[in-house]
Structure 1
């Protein structure tokens, strides 16, 4: 099929779909149309967002959504799941081949679900199985109430060591208000206060003192690469399981930008990821594991998950098939190159970056030098059509709500075709907005962490300059709605 004919087919498909939706609830159809228009006219720089292909998006809107399929491939608790078996097996096959993993589990609905499956699989493998053997039982149903109480006590006293939130870790890496911080007795490792970089000797010392069952590596706002071989050495030294959450940088792993010691899959016993973000698929999760943990991960349903989202698993299979094509490697490398261009653009304009730069897909800008909080900066940028998210920086004095940072990611605009020159311009636009924004006051006249004022004409100027780039790199080119 030619590109022109494919674009026409896609346009027809979406027009028809929106017409059907509008016949039931026209406000949903209108909001859907408006969302496309908004995304087309803004600079999407949220590191955790991307643009899935029309093929991936269309795959989610099928009758697979109507099917219950608890269980695993070939072993379901519902009848007539043969077609679900096909798409789930394909998703797992593509994931194994793409990442070089012995085992893949495609059922998690999200990244946090993938992490919960991983955590409970580790507990089952390292706590439950030895306990059952010690008590002479085949499964928990054979335990007495006293034995079961002891097992619950053992589950609840395990330790997890993960990266702190302000250093770039994720909520699910042991943050106390998150379920991961309630499941485990947890401690966190940070980064060097001077450089913002991971210090593996400090992580090792912390692990040797704390003796965790689980050492979590990976990040959501750390702009550098991680040496996972070193993290595995540390885990082995203290008898911990190395779990890596690569949700943010999975596309760079899939595209072979991260290889060797920077590829987590050969080094970690369990790797989790989302399938959107830099992987450019549907919203969902994956678990990759060494064979030792495969049987435990397969118990994700009913251990943690309910019925898998069969339509999303089908979309995962499509997106992972796309990621196995040679052009995806070119795309992944461009993500990293563009992040460097964005970082250089900020630095040449006098902005302050956490760690002084980037080695991956994201850039973390400390906006305190502009006299702003992250919330003020995020809002001012949004007014100018620049979509970002505020983020903590190491030792953030403003906490996790107001923050002192803005996180930028390059995957989405790279999908649109932006390159070095465009990202240098993006840095110029961001600095233009922030340099012309002042912190506001509250009703009592005291300094406010939320209110702000941007000089007249700045937002319109930035939107006009953005439009020139966006028009050159249209989102879903050829897709025309009537």
Structure 2
């Protein structure tokens, strides 16, 4: 029997790898097997297409390409120019953006590019003007001292980590928390929702240079029109990090006031997650920030990764196909069905439901920490990640929450009926898990007790559920 193109490609690649380091080939095969057999509910993960995966394994990996299209610091980059231009074109058309920069290696890199682009565009100082007109090597130590004072200690207002914001929105251990004099806005304690009046009040009091919207664990929409009005009222640059919900924007599920691109000065995103592309980042911006954004390399980034830009071009082209909006809508439909199934079984959800791709379970109702729940679910074939909930008493390491999302299972074809079954499996595990104790008998935030028979039974049920929705059905590794 002849093999299809996908099977031939991946089998051949593994044979070549195996000839050099068989343990790597084995790990690649094992990863595919694990992903095929597990209920992947991590909200930030998805499954890239075979075309996107294959676009990363080629000779573009061998190229240095610092600079931008047509203005490289290395010769021989004409083919890199082609794929970067294609990726940027697809991004602009997909999101309706004026400018797209596709070089960032990750979402954090994209945010750093955005931060420094805003600083360079907004901050006026003699030292900065010198830096703009003179070679860096010509700046004196006094110039650098003045420049650091001017660029540092600017103010940024973003969503707090426990309310659902991201660590790059000013969390202290991250570089963003060291670059900026930062303040956070949270959510209403009673509803878990963003209180726009409180955000406006904080902005008037704090007067930030940058107002950041976006989230990694907030299960509702954000009104970007209102957020832009708040930013304008205090003269702030409005930045949106849409890494988690970019696929919902691309698929026209989030439109009008809930589409950040028409409202923000600058938008950052990853290209995986709900967008279903390769691991990488992307910056969209208004024309006035384009020149600064295009200086991301070498300002913040190392050399661009041309093979990943090629994969971004493929994935963005896929997202422009007519079937992508249907996929994006099914992500939300599935998340809401999953939330409904959990609520019916007595689970406590942050905000009481979801408007997007993710659900945040407060597992304290089960008498567990997030770390205990995460591991118990993993033992049972359900892959999730622990996450803080608003005003979390267990902090960011142990947490009181479990974040789950539907982009990956939606890619596999699961629908509302399967989401209800998934809710039953999650509830079964959490309700059958007990908090454990340390060797000295004190309560543990990490140890837990789950009957192995329950874990085995749920794993088998999860496997049976997935059997009707094969992952990469066109790929047969033999």
Q: Same fold (TM over 0.5)?
A: yes
Does the 8 A contact of 1:110 with 1:283 survive in 2?
yes
Aligned counterparts, 1:67-216, within 5 A: 67-127=63-123, 131=126, 138-139=133-134, 141=136, 143-216=139-212
1:135 to partner: Cα distance: 6.5
Tell me the equivalent position of 2:440. 444
1:256 to partner: Cα distance: 0.2
Q: Higher mean Cα deviation, 27-36 or 135-144? A: 135-144
- Of 28, 46, 67, the residue aligned with 1:32 is 28
Relative distance call for 1:234 and 1:460 in structure 2 (3 A) is same
Tell me the equivalent position of 2:365. 369
Mapped pair 1:252 → 2:244: no
Local SS of the residue matching 1:390: strand
- Of 189, 214, 237, the residue aligned with 1:218 is 214
Mapped pair 1:308 → 2:304: yes
Tell me the equivalent position of 1:348. 344
Gaps of 5+ in 2: none
TM-score by length of 2: 0.98
Mapped pair 1:385 → 2:381: yes
How many Å separate the matches in 2 of 1:238 and 1:41?
A: 51
How many Å separate the matches in 1 of 2:53 and 2:143?
A: 48
1:125 to partner: Cα distance: 0.3
- Of 46, 52, 59, the residue aligned with 2:55 is 59
How many Å separate the matches in 1 of 2:118 and 2:430?
A: 45
- Of 271, 288, 291, the residue aligned with 1:292 is 288
Does the 8 A contact of 1:353 with 1:365 survive in 2?
yes
Does the 8 A contact of 2:362 with 2:402 survive in 1?
yes
Q: What are the superposed Cα offsets for residues 127-182 of structure 1, whole Å, 9 maximum, x if unpaired? A: 15x64687797246465543432221111120011100000000000001100000
Alpha-carbon RMSD across the aligned residues, in angstroms, is: 1.4
How many Å separate the matches in 2 of 1:58 and 1:415?
A: 18
Relative distance call for 1:119 and 1:136 in structure 2 (3 A) is closer
Local SS of the residue matching 2:48: coil
How many Å separate the matches in 2 of 1:285 and 1:40?
A: 26
1:306 to partner: Cα distance: 1.1
Q: What are the superposed Cα offsets for residues 296-352 of structure 1, whole Å, 9 maximum, x if unpaired? A: 001001100111000000000000000000100000000000000000000000100
TM-score by length of 1: 0.97
How many Å separate the matches in 2 of 1:155 and 1:183?
A: 8
Relative distance call for 1:157 and 1:428 in structure 2 (3 A) is same
Gaps of 5+ in 1: none
Aligned counterparts, 1:377-416, within 5 A: 377-416=373-412
How many Å separate the matches in 1 of 2:272 and 2:250?
A: 13
Does the 8 A contact of 1:132 with 1:138 survive in 2?
no
How many Å separate the matches in 2 of 1:447 and 1:209?
A: 42
Local SS of the residue matching 2:238: strand
Q: Higher mean Cα deviation, 147-156 or 210-219? A: 147-156
Mapped pair 1:266 → 2:282: no
Does the 8 A contact of 1:247 with 1:274 survive in 2?
yes
- How many residue pairs match? The answer is 477
Relative distance call for 1:131 and 1:257 in structure 2 (3 A) is farther
1:254 to partner: Cα distance: 0.1
How many Å separate the matches in 1 of 2:91 and 2:4?
A: 31
Mapped pair 1:21 → 2:17: yes
Relative distance call for 1:327 and 1:186 in structure 2 (3 A) is same
How many Å separate the matches in 2 of 1:288 and 1:303?
A: 17
Local SS of the residue matching 1:215: strand
